[in-house]
A and B are shown apart, each in its own frame.
Chain A
Amino acid sequence: MIHGVGGHILWVDLTKGSIEKRPLDEDMIKEYLLGAGYLSRILFDHIPKGIDPLSEKNVLGMATGLLTGSMFPQASRHVIAGLSPLTDVWGESHAAGFWGAELKFAGYDAIVFTGASKNPVYLNIKDEDVQLLDAESAGVWGKDVFETDDILKAKHGKRIRTLSIGQAGENRVRFAAVMNDRDRASARSGLGAVMGAKRLKAVSVRGTGKLDVADPKNYLKQIDVFHKRMMANPFTPGRIKYGTTSLLELMQHIGRLPSYNMKQGVFDGFEKISGDAINQNYFVKARADFSCLQRCGRYTAVRTGPYAFEGGAPEFETQSSMGSRCGNDNLESVLFGHHLANQYGIDTISLGATISWAMEAWDEGLLTAEDTGGIDLSWGNHESMINLTRMIALREGFGDVLAEGSARAAQKIGRGTEKFVMTVKKQEIAGQEPRAQKSMGLAAVTSARGADHLYSFPVLDEAGFDEDIKERFGEQYLPEMADRLNPKYKGIMVKECEDFMVMVESVGLCKYGTQIPPEFYYDDVALALKIHNGLDLTGKDLQVIGERIVNLNRLFNARVGITRKDDCLPDRLTKVKAPLGPSAGEVVELDMMLDEYYTTRGWDLKTGLPLKETLKRLGLSRDA
């Protein structure tokens, strides 16, 4: 018996309005863990080939990890997955908060939604009592994320935890987020639009149960060791002080800060939107999620003016996407923009990147006031950026074009605007100018969910982790692997990081603490799974599970037609030399890194798909 879990999965058929409670499949846990791995398996088996992601045939999964709700540092996470309406491939997104732990206390580890409801509904869970309720008569349909939370709390009690979409999800904006606990976002892959298409507004949860751990006698003693290590890590004080906002300065210094769409990796106005600038004038408090010791969550306030607000914001990705990427050094608009995106439920990365694409097209004279309905899209026009945020969420005017994401918008407009689209598999590249860190360029193309830095999160070449590289890979890979500008060994590194990161997302831990700083590794997770869940898995077992999940995600994508030809970056990043800054003159040597990556993975060099023997070793087949 597996300890420390809720024990059941809810299967909700939205077409029929029926709810079924199924026990956790313990055999599947041994092969895929929970969280991202478990959903990878379920959705591979249940999402038919060739469907429209916004049709009722899509299946939407929400799952906690094996350690979510435990006392392991940062064990606060859940994952949302389905076929992505932005990329048309595997879609997956994660968030921290309290919702995941609460779901476990209610007795559930995951929820799978099939079909689509005719009328807007929300799922309300109070321990054993699980009901689909009318979202229109409850007054939440059409409301933003904060209003939805307020209304559901007034109705079901202040102690519920809410996950919901805002107007962007309802309006099927292709990069709509699924929000929880007000300002936590499962933002990438546009799965908020899948909720909207299913007419599922929210999942509110109250759980008063308990997690009975496998080794209660030694539990606190071992947790104390993990806690002490986390608190003693030299990264922890900085994380508490700045969250991820101080990354902005670091990225400027290595020329990795996407600026003016992704023309360059340095931004003159960086100091104005930096972590220090936020701390000086707007920072209110560092906030944590369940069991989180690092509290990177920021709570900020702009007290006066057009951008006045108070709430959870921002983090590095938004500083770059709505700041430097749009050529915008008006910090108040960046903070407010992040707040608005939370309120409407939008991915700030794709939002800023899509607007910055339009700004570059405007700058090149390819987009005019006629296209935008009179909106001026000059670089740094923060008023337009804020207006467009609202217009995208509500699909008004030019916002309706941008709500499709930059790749589709460019296709519609044409006129050469396509070459300014900075996407992989139609998802906008996040805040890592890859010409300044080659591993990030590779990671963006190999990620199962389209352009993404987190699926692999190859940060070991970012800031002097030579010792960790030595430990994880061996001394023979130094110094090349630690050199962010050297493409050598990056295929090996990205592969290793992907296996580890999908495993981390399957146990519900945070990438902060496992990957940056790399404090906890496979053996630590194995020990946690032993004392919390009673699972006897070695670090090596966990690595193989990670590898299995990555291969299964690749098979999912192969089924919708993805091959090596799709694993590519925009020409700007592979053919045009970085024009300015510390990484000037660099391009991403993608093909060479990809060759190394496929070889290391045991994937075919020509097709980029897993070889038969690789699948056999992992207990998979083409039909999985």
Chain B
Amino acid sequence: MTELKFVFGDPRVCSGCMTCSNTCSMFYYKVISPTRARNRVLRIEPALDFPLFCRNCEDAPCIKACPEQALMRTSKGVVIINNKKCVGHGECVKACPYYAIRIHPDTGKAFKCIQCGQCVERCPADAIWMTTESELAEKDQDGSMMDLYEQQKEEIYDKEDSI
């Protein structure tokens, strides 16, 4: 199997403009609404802007958590949600360590980034990339970028207050 892909970004480079989120909500839901984007962008002082996406975990706890078996991984390695099966009780939201799955305010069903890359194309700061774990390790050799995610994890993955 080829390595799993996901979108990831550098909070030191991201300018916080929300173009990725706006692209996403417009592309999928025909509206502009960060609450309806499949990713999130959080500004954290000092000077960090976190563009946050599904990390496409190897073990995908979200898939296991769903009692309706509404989540599955496609042959291309993307975790998707079957809207016909999803009833929106949010077990996947609870299981995701990155708060990368949320319940859509209009449909009441779970939604998440499916690595389509529409946002990556449009990022004006080139702050986000479609990448893999090994590629990311290459890019962040001194680990300084991942350290920032680690240091801010309580805030960026806080499910109560992060949308």
Seen from chain A, the residues whose Cβ lies within 8 Å of a Cβ on chain B are 4, 69-71, 98, 105, 157-159, 182, 208-213, 216, 219-220, 224, 227, 231, 284-293, 295, 297, 299, 301, 310-311
B31 within 8 A of partner (CB): yes
Given known contacts A208-B163, A211-B32, A220 and B15 CB-to-CB distance under 8 angstroms? no
Assess the A213–B32 pair: CB atoms within 8 A: yes
| Cα of A289 to Cα of B19 in the assembled complex, Å | 10
Residues from chain A with Cβ under 8 Å of B23 in the complex: 71, 220
Assess the B33–A211 pair: CB atoms within 8 A: yes
Out of A158, A212, A293, A310, name the residue touching B31 (CB < 8 Å): A212
| Cα of A210 to Cα of B155 in the assembled complex, Å | 24
Residues from chain B with Cβ under 8 Å of A289 in the complex: 16-17
B9 within 8 A of partner (CB): no
Residues from chain B with Cβ under 8 Å of A69 in the complex: 32
Assess the A286–B32 pair: CB atoms within 8 A: no
Out of B17, B25, B34, B161, name the residue touching A293 (CB < 8 Å): B17
| Cα of A286 to Cα of B31 in the assembled complex, Å | 28
Assess the B35–A208 pair: CB atoms within 8 A: yes
List 28 interface pairs A-B (beta carbons < 8 Å), by A numbering.
Answer: A69-B32, A71-B32, A105-B35, A157-B161, A159-B162, A159-B163, A208-B33, A209-B33, A209-B35, A211-B31, A211-B32, A212-B31, A213-B30, A216-B31, A231-B124, A285-B15, A286-B15, A287-B16, A288-B17, A288-B124, A288-B125, A289-B16, A289-B17, A295-B15, A295-B17, A295-B124, A299-B46, A310-B47
B106 to chain A: closest CB distance in Å? 8
Residues from chain B with Cβ under 8 Å of A209 in the complex: 33, 35
Q: B17 — nearest CB in chain A belongs to which residue?
A: A288
Given known contacts A210-B36, A293-B19, A285 and B25 CB-to-CB distance under 8 angstroms? no
Given known contacts A158-B161, A286-B15, A216 and B22 CB-to-CB distance under 8 angstroms? no
Assess the B18–A291 pair: CB atoms within 8 A: yes
| Cα of A557 to Cα of B22 in the assembled complex, Å | 40
Q: A300 — nearest CB in chain B belongs to which residue?
A: B47
Out of A71, A182, A285, name the residue touching B26 (CB < 8 Å): A71
B12 within 8 A of partner (CB): yes
Which of B33, B125, B163 gathers the greatest number of chain A CB atoms within 10 Å? B33
Q: A104 — nearest CB in chain B belongs to which residue?
A: B32
Residues from chain A with Cβ under 8 Å of B19 in the complex: 71, 227, 291, 293
Q: B105 — nearest CB in chain A belongs to which residue?
A: A208
Residues from chain A with Cβ under 8 Å of B22 in the complex: 71, 291
Residues from chain B with Cβ under 8 Å of A293 in the complex: 17, 19, 124
Assess the B17–A216 pair: CB atoms within 8 A: no
Residues from chain B with Cβ under 8 Å of A70 in the complex: 32
Residues from chain A with Cβ under 8 Å of B31 in the complex: 210-213, 216
Q: B162 — nearest CB in chain A belongs to which residue?
A: A159
A309 to chain B: closest CB distance in Å? 10
Assess the A227–B122 pair: CB atoms within 8 A: yes
| Cα of A212 to Cα of B26 in the assembled complex, Å | 9
Assess the A288–B26 pair: CB atoms within 8 A: no
Given known contacts A208-B163, A293-B124, A299-B47, A288 and B16 CB-to-CB distance under 8 angstroms? yes
Out of A105, A212, A231, name the residue touching B34 (CB < 8 Å): A105
| Cα of A292 to Cα of B22 in the assembled complex, Å | 12
Interface string of B136-148 (1 = CB under 8 A from A): 0000000000000
B118 to chain A: closest CB distance in Å? 8
Assess the A288–B33 pair: CB atoms within 8 A: no
Out of B15, B33, B36, name the residue touching A287 (CB < 8 Å): B15
Give chain B interface residues in 116-154, CB to chain A under 8 Å: 122, 124-125
Q: B22 — nearest CB in chain A belongs to which residue?
A: A71
A278 to chain B: closest CB distance in Å? 15
Give chain B interface residues in 70-127, CB to chain A under 8 Å: 105, 122, 124-125
Beyond the given A70-B32, A105-B33, A310-B46, could you list 5 further A-B residue pairs with CB under 8 A, ordered by the A residue number? Answer: A4-B32, A158-B161, A159-B163, A210-B35, A213-B31
A388 to chain B: closest CB distance in Å? 27
| Cα of A285 to Cα of B13 in the assembled complex, Å | 8
